[in-house]
Amino acid sequence: MNEPGIIRKLSEEVVNRIAAGEIVQRPANALKELIENSLDAKSTNIIITVKSGGLKFLQIQDNGTGIRNEDLGIVCERFTTSKLRKYEDLQEISTYGFRGEALASISHIAHLTILTKTAQDKCAYKASYENGKLKGPIKACAGNNGTQITVEDLFYNVVARKGALRSPTEEYTRLMEVVGGYAIHNSQVGFTLKKFSENTDLKTAMKSSVIENVRIIYGNTIARELIEVEILDANLKLSIHGYITNVNYSNKKGILLLFINHRLVDSQAIRKAVDSVYSTYLPKNSHAFVYLSIELDPKNVDVNVHPTKHEVQFLYEEQIVEKIKTCIETKLLGCSSTRVLYTQARLPGAAQPRDVADQPTDAAKTSAAHMVRVNPNVQKIDKFFELEPNKTNQLTRDNASAVVNDVDQQQKIPSEQDLNNSIVKEPAEDNKVQEKWKQYTEVGQANITYVDPKDSFKTRTFQYQRIETKLTSVKQLRLEVENNCNSNLREILANLIFIACIDCHKSLIQHSTKLYLCDTTRLTEELFYETLLYDFQNFGFIKLSNPLPLEELFVLGLNGSTQNSEQDSELGDTGEMAQHMTQLLLSKRAMLYEYFSLEINGNGELLALPLLLDGHVPFVGALPTYLVRLVTEVNWDSEKECFETFCRQTAKFYAQPNPDPNAESVSSEHRRQEHVIFPAIRKYFLPPSSFVSNGAILQIASLNDLYKVFERC
């Protein structure tokens, strides 16, 4: 028979150590308490130095009030605090710590030293602690105003805890999170975090701003997408202020910085609510950056549900969570119309074609017996033109495919970052087409997919919330496009196979067994004209790297157009005209921004152009002329004509290829046409009937007939 265990009372020291280990579970918990003490002491600059993720050495230096010499004896005893005198104070307290436990706990599980000086004291005092008590006499020494707390060998006497901790690197990451969080929340206070005898890892300035600190800590990708949120509710005694990322930003790892009454905490309820709102706007399994500072009546918060005070509970949780959800939802709805594509800083030519391999392969609707075209991605005519003189020399039958690959690789594939920055998603049907194609290629070489010509602008789907325009004028213009569409041509273009660019204005395409010559510029102009009508109010932005003064652009544009004109003098002073023109566009600024994402600031500087097609940037050399035409050719007086002429001029501008004859820009122009323009034409373009007869699309050969010719040979 087993003997019953004998119950012994644990020594006070062990009890305290266990309790301390509950409160301080890892260096980051200790640091949080110490930062809060420094903030309570009105510090404006806090410097943190660590060694081994804070396990060996964790020091925090502040410039706050300091600790009075006479308090140094008891400061590390349990339940000693300068912030609470009677029980009722608990309800009113607005400082962070109020249980007088932090320093006591730390002293039970680490070597703790305090060096402090108040403004009144002539010198600083230094004291070391063990198990809540002074370890030796308090020594007078030199020091600055404020407090420096040093924690060494954390958990030296709690072997189990030490073993459970992860690597110093991971602990350091958590320290960074804590410092980063408090630095963002307390942007007026300067924070520095560094590893012992190494360079600074994180530093924010005093009197900085929330956004600036987000930029320093989390980078510009997040900082530039922030929108401010604010909720006030007198009934709930609630006020919320914060910054959240808009729908342009998403990341696999979400960030929720939640402060309740200025304490960094977590709340599962809020976390879930935030995620559920964003899930409708962001791609699957990706999250946002959310920083919220919630202030509640302290009476309504219970921070003591968790020993480390990490999780909090508060009254009226459901209502508050609901308020947060609605607020974020409204904000996201408001911004979902502004898709932003951040192109590279330098224009033009910043756009890059999509990965060729991602494009579904296509073939015409024709029986396999008549199939002549191979997968257009495998081999194209332009590969046999002199793209790269030194390489074409090697182009023999045997190594032709090797050269083809080589050329393909030179096409710059967009980096993940580029794609992430753009939230313009492919229509959902595309995936189906791709799936379909995959099946076909698996089965055999007969890679036939057929795009129903009825798929048109009308069936475009987007993953983000679209604004449906209420303007009848725009709807009328769309209707005109649809009525004017030639369905035969639509069928041809919807199933086109791109063969080659002849030059920047002409291309060859194939449909079924027929070969066509297209006027690329004309097709592109028409495509953009339609895009402007169908994506009305839903454009992204092409942000210019520098604001461009309109007036100067107008001067350039005017000089360009009058160079050969004899009426030069009659036109009057160019400068004055440029001024008038700027005024006109300035007066239309709000409309241009809302409907067309053409952004002009109050100083008459151009900030952004509309993003009509992902991957396409207009030739900026034509910008001055375009702006002049906006003033002279657009009918600003009547709504429908205004939109029609504006869309027409803009489409002309966007369709203009870069005339630079140098080989590199020509080939980049060709690539753009092949990988950006023609895929869009396949997908969306409704060709007007006039294209049948005006030479925009000409049939130049029928392969059936050609075969016959060959057969005779």
Interface residues with ligand ADP (CB under 6 A)?
A: 33, 37-38, 41, 62, 64-67, 75, 80-83, 97-104, 147
Separation of alpha carbons 433 and 428, rounded Å: 9
Separation of alpha carbons 309 and 29, rounded Å: 9
Closest approach, Cβ 33 to Mg ion, in A, equals 5
Residue 611's nearest CA partner among 676, 548, 673 is: 676
Separation of alpha carbons 456 and 643, rounded Å: 21
Binding partner of residue 181 among Mg ion, ligand ADP, none, CB cut-off 5 to 8 Å per kind: none
**CB-wise, 97 or 688, nearer to ligand ADP?**
97
Binding partner of residue 53 among Mg ion, ligand ADP, none, CB cut-off 5 to 8 Å per kind: none
Binding partner of residue 65 among Mg ion, ligand ADP, none, CB cut-off 5 to 8 Å per kind: ligand ADP
The token pair that represents 428 in the structure block: 């959902």
Binding partner of residue 103 among ligand ADP, Mg ion, none, CB cut-off 5 to 8 Å per kind: ligand ADP
Residue nearest to Mg ion (CB): 97
Q: 540 with 340: CB under 8 angstroms?
A: yes
In the three-class reduction of DSSP (H, G, I as helix; E, B as strand; rest coil), residue 404 is classed as helix
Closest approach, Cβ 146 to ligand ADP, in A, equals 7
**CB-wise, 81 or 128, nearer to ligand ADP?**
81
**CB-wise, 83 or 436, nearer to ligand ADP?**
83
Buried residues in 661-670 as b, exposed as e (16+ CB within 10 A)? eeeebbbbbb
Binding partner of residue 38 among Mg ion, ligand ADP, none, CB cut-off 5 to 8 Å per kind: ligand ADP
Q: Which residues of the chain form contacts with Mg ion (CB under 5 A)?
A: 37, 97, 102
Closest approach, Cβ 203 to ligand ADP, in A, equals 20
**CB-wise, 35 or 229, nearer to ligand ADP?**
35
Burial of 621 (0-12, 13-18, 19+ CB in 10 A): middle
Closest approach, Cβ 235 to ligand ADP, in A, equals 31
Separation of alpha carbons 208 and 227, rounded Å: 18
Cis before residue 348, ω within 30 degrees of 0?
Answer: yes
Separation of alpha carbons 507 and 518, rounded Å: 5
Residue nearest to ligand ADP (CB): 97
**CB-wise, 263 or 511, nearer to Mg ion?**
263
Separation of alpha carbons 428 and 237, rounded Å: 45
Binding partner of residue 145 among Mg ion, ligand ADP, none, CB cut-off 5 to 8 Å per kind: none
The token pair that represents 672 in the structure block: 């753009």
**CB-wise, 83 or 162, nearer to ligand ADP?**
83
**CB-wise, 116 or 449, nearer to ligand ADP?**
116
Separation of alpha carbons 63 and 45, rounded Å: 6
Residue 204's nearest CA partner among 182, 185, 183 is: 183
Q: Which amino acid is at 165?
A: L
Closest approach, Cβ 31 to ligand ADP, in A, equals 12
**Contacts (Cβ under 8 Å, ≥6 apart) of 465:** 281, 333, 336, 337
**Contacts (Cβ under 8 Å, ≥6 apart) of 429:** 455, 459, 461
Closest approach, Cβ 69 to Mg ion, in A, equals 19
Binding partner of residue 476 among ligand ADP, Mg ion, none, CB cut-off 5 to 8 Å per kind: none
Closest approach, Cβ 239 to ligand ADP, in A, equals 24
**CB-wise, 38 or 650, nearer to ligand ADP?**
38
**CB-wise, 41 or 364, nearer to Mg ion?**
41
Closest approach, Cβ 114 to ligand ADP, in A, equals 8
Closest approach, Cβ 174 to ligand ADP, in A, equals 19
